[in-house]
Structure 1
Amino acid sequence: MLLFIPADDRDEWVKIGGILKDEFGDDGWTIWDEWSQTGRNYNARDARAVWKSLGNNDTRAKIGTLIHVAKRYGWGRASAPPIAPPKPRPAPAPEPVNRSTQAYAGELWLAGCWDDDAVGRHPYARKKGIEWAAGAKRGIASGKLIGRNADCVIVPVRERALGQIQAVQCINTEGDKQTFGPIKGGCLVLGNTLDKKIPWYVAEGWASAVSVVFHHHRGNAVCAVAFGKHNLDATAQILAEVFEPEEIVVLREAD
């Protein structure tokens, strides 16, 4: 339902946050934050601050209002959200000498498709048992490791977990990975980061993190994607400094 509603109007964005918090408490945070990330001006720190400022019953809008808004944007009149899966199209060329990989990462992220079904139907996601977007997008990318015009899952790397996107990792249909932009100082966090007492983990890759949070713990956990074993400890340090959970477990995969 939420995918039918643009997350760009701030008043509507806050109202929907209030509805979800009123209905689900802090369990609604993950739903609202993932939808918020579809907005053009998404800012992770702002989203957390707004959510914390929302008190239960501080809005007269209820779940019926959310349904009404969704219907206004077409929900109920179509079988799928109006966000189409990516179609083959000319891809941005591999980064030229005069353009940084970080700039290319930004272009890839903006051009990607956030639809749960589109990401879930990507061959790599299906192989890993991932049926929804899980913080990622799907799009076309080109690079030496992934090939030209490759159909990829595009996973964002956020500055100190909450900041702007500083890089993306592109995973093609064969599972080959290529990162554009700097990984150092960044990660991706999945799960309800408002709960400090649930299990918190750090995993090397996106698929592992999704499996930990949503398959093993049924959503009742948090896991950060470190984007490689060399970044595991640094990512754990970021979690400790930014979120201050009670305990962080680093998941080290056998070589």
Structure 2
Amino acid sequence: MTAHTERERAALALSAIPADLPRDTWWKIAAALKHEFGEDGFALFDAWSRTTERYDEAAARDTWRSLKASGGIRIGSLYEIAKSHGFDPKQHQVATPTTAERTRHAKEQRERAERDARAQADEAQRRAQAADRAHELWENAAAASDDHPYLQGKTVRGHGLRLYRGNLRIGGVACDDALMVPLRGASGDLTSLEFIGADGEKRFLSGGSKAGSFCMIGDDYTRIVVAEGYATGASAFEATSYAVAVAFDAGNLRRVASALREQHPKAVLVFAVDNDAKANGSNPGLKAATDAAHAVGGTLAVPPAGMDLNDLHQRDGLMAVKDLINAALPQVWPNMEQRPCWCVYGDWQEVDGVKRKPGVWHHNFKQRDDQEPVMVDEWICSPLYVDATTSNREDENYGFLLRYVSRRGIWKKWAMPAEMLAGDGAEALGIVLSGGVEISQHKKREVLRYIASQHPTRHMRAATLTGWHDGAFVLPDEVIGADDVWFQAAGRTAPYGTAGTLAGWKSGVAALAEGNPLLMLAISAAFAGVLLEPLCIDGAPLMPIRDRAGYWRIEGGHRLYLFTSAGIKEAIKGYDLNRALSALDAAGAIARKQNGQRSVPIRAPDGRLTRLYAIDPEKLDVDG
């Protein structure tokens, strides 16, 4: 059909394009419409965007506002995208306008230009007002503490964040007690604020500028990690201490990257990918990070599918995040000015056409008489990292947390006591050799020199026993509940065996315990040991639970027996019940009474409310 106007033609093209496109394509369509129709094009863009279930009104509005009508993406880009979805621009040509139509069109263009100029001025004013409002809110807010529920849930700290207290609502959502994340432009000026609630709900200050703005964590600008969200960026910073720029969403990565490249032309930019692959095969997080990296000469740190760096942090710990980021950094063979030094390479290096194997290298130089110095490079062993120093709470038992890969490619950790470096260090070498480290036959002592010379920035607590340690549960190769403690011993302990899955345990074990008191007892006994310390219980013998005899529990720091009348009869073995109860009462052993009665209603383990006799064994003279 023939379109009467360019707007009608654009509407026909949009009808052929599904609105659930990757964000970078969706954004291009908005840019093309704004260039052609100015502010009048928003109605087309918004109506088309609403045809997907993923429609976000705020995102559509903010994206539109961030675009300029004078941008370089023209209406032809829209038609090219539509062609890939079956639209034929030749079959939808705009009719040749009459003289009157051309005059009217020229008038409309002038009026539109005037409206766009007014709209841009209004937008600039709104952004200035929002910046002023952001500055006022920021200055009146107190620093956020690390115990905020959102930060605890993400296992990160609040690096420079503040806490909002007040009646502000954005999009109907109350912002009281929300974290405030500052958005700053390349000049460092505050442009807007992000509010993050305890449940992770995020809202941006109305009217604020997000495009090209970012939140910076840290000040080591030799390497800068660019992340989408705050939690992802915080995990990257805590793992590496490199500077981090939080861009807030995938669509803002490229703008932020360009600003950072201009500010820090020599910095290595690493893009922390949100690896959010979709069912249709698209991956907007990876696509946006890849485009941004290509634009500024950056690299990619790509976590496993479906994860970002914070997900990786929570699953595998900060060291896994550090490894992923460092693996993305370009590794450079040191020059003469950087020698002597030790370097660890996780992959093959090609230097002057020669491939050098992964591992620990000692880079040095030799110089004889008046000759020019000659660089000397010696391979010491396969990759072995000194991730942290360790010590106990008394500042004793220092050690080194080593991380190395076996010949089969399995990564291991061992907190080696520093005292093992005394003497010839043969025992320490034997342990790493046994763990699969490959060592140059003539450089064994160099391995010990390398370890002793390292000064990692991270320091961790040393636990010399497995089990509970200051609120964390320490295993030989894993710690549950903390990431700043590790098991340290003069030998690497084999990891505890694991098997099965949680779902399998629920169906194959837990489901069988329902209505089975003996199996419940067995399972509870298996879990009891690890719960004694946090419950402040030194230990207790296992008491059988029977329907007739009753059960026992701990109250006030000592044991309390709870018996049914049948259970007491069985315990006194034929003695008169009333006489036995009177004797117990006279001894003060009946710990609970109610309305003159020696039995009281107590809820039993099976949930039933029944009358039981509460007997305190400490009141009984068992030797008398």
TM-score bracket, shorter-length normalisation: 0.5 to 0.7
Q: CA deviation at 1:192?
A: 2.2
Q: CA deviation at 1:152?
A: 0.8
Aligned to 1:147: 173
**Equivalent residues of 2:164, 2:175 under 8 A apart:** no
Aligned to 1:178: 203
**Equivalent residues of 1:146, 1:171 under 8 A apart:** no
User: In the alignment, does 2:260 pair up with 1:239?
Assistant: yes
Q: CA deviation at 1:106?
A: 2.1
Aligned to 2:131: 102
Q: CA deviation at 1:101?
A: 3.3
Q: CA deviation at 1:209?
A: 0.7
**Equivalent residues of 1:209, 1:223 under 8 A apart:** yes
**Equivalent residues of 1:146, 1:172 under 8 A apart:** no
| Counterpart Cα distance in 2 of 1:108 and 1:159 | 17
Q: Give the secondary structure class of the aligned counterpart of 1:186.
A: coil
**Equivalent residues of 1:158, 1:187 under 8 A apart:** yes
| Counterpart Cα distance in 1 of 2:150 and 2:228 | 16
Closer, same or farther: CA 144–249 of 1 in aligned 2, 3 Å: same
Aligned to 2:235: 211
Aligned to 1:129: 155
Q: CA deviation at 1:146?
A: 6.9
Aligned to 1:165: 190
Q: CA deviation at 1:149?
A: 4.7
* 5+ residue gaps, structure 1: 1-96
Closer, same or farther: CA 122–249 of 1 in aligned 2, 3 Å: same
Q: CA deviation at 1:127?
A: 0.9
Amino acid paired to 1:127: G
* 5+ residue gaps, structure 2: 1-125, 277-624
User: In the alignment, does 2:243 pair up with 1:222?
Assistant: yes
Q: CA deviation at 1:167?
A: 0.7
Q: CA deviation at 1:137?
A: 0.8
Amino acid paired to 2:174: R
Amino acid paired to 2:156: I
Larger radius of gyration: 2
> Identity across aligned pairs (percent)?
26
**Equivalent residues of 1:200, 1:245 under 8 A apart:** no
Runs (4+) of structure 1 moved beyond 4 Å? Answer: none
Alignment of 1:184-199 (within 5 A): 184-193=211-220, 195-196=221-222, 199=223
| Counterpart Cα distance in 2 of 1:143 and 1:243 | 37
**Equivalent residues of 2:180, 2:193 under 8 A apart:** yes
Which protein, 1 or 2, shows the higher relative CO under an 8 Å CA cutoff with sep ≥ 6?
1
**Equivalent residues of 2:175, 2:195 under 8 A apart:** no
**Equivalent residues of 2:161, 2:179 under 8 A apart:** yes
**Equivalent residues of 1:203, 1:251 under 8 A apart:** yes
Alignment of 1:39-58 (within 5 A): none
Q: Give the secondary structure class of the aligned counterpart of 1:185.
A: coil
Q: Give the secondary structure class of the aligned counterpart of 1:183.
A: coil
User: In the alignment, does 2:275 pair up with 1:254?
Assistant: yes
**Equivalent residues of 1:157, 1:167 under 8 A apart:** yes
Q: Give the secondary structure class of the aligned counterpart of 1:178.
A: strand
Q: CA deviation at 1:145?
A: 4.3
Closer, same or farther: CA 146–155 of 1 in aligned 2, 3 Å: farther
User: In the alignment, does 2:141 pair up with 1:112?
Assistant: yes
| Counterpart Cα distance in 1 of 2:230 and 2:252 | 13
Amino acid paired to 1:251: A
| TM-score relative to the length of structure 2 | 0.22
| Counterpart Cα distance in 2 of 1:129 and 1:122 | 10
| Counterpart Cα distance in 2 of 1:204 and 1:140 | 26
**Equivalent residues of 1:146, 1:178 under 8 A apart:** no
| Counterpart Cα distance in 2 of 1:146 and 1:189 | 29
| Counterpart Cα distance in 1 of 2:256 and 2:140 | 27
Closer, same or farther: CA 227–149 of 1 in aligned 2, 3 Å: closer
| Counterpart Cα distance in 2 of 1:146 and 1:203 | 28
Q: CA deviation at 1:229?
A: 0.8
Closer, same or farther: CA 238–167 of 1 in aligned 2, 3 Å: same
| Counterpart Cα distance in 2 of 1:146 and 1:245 | 44
**Equivalent residues of 1:203, 1:223 under 8 A apart:** yes
| TM-score relative to the length of structure 1 | 0.53
| Counterpart Cα distance in 1 of 2:153 and 2:213 | 26
| Counterpart Cα distance in 2 of 1:205 and 1:111 | 24
Aligned to 1:63: none
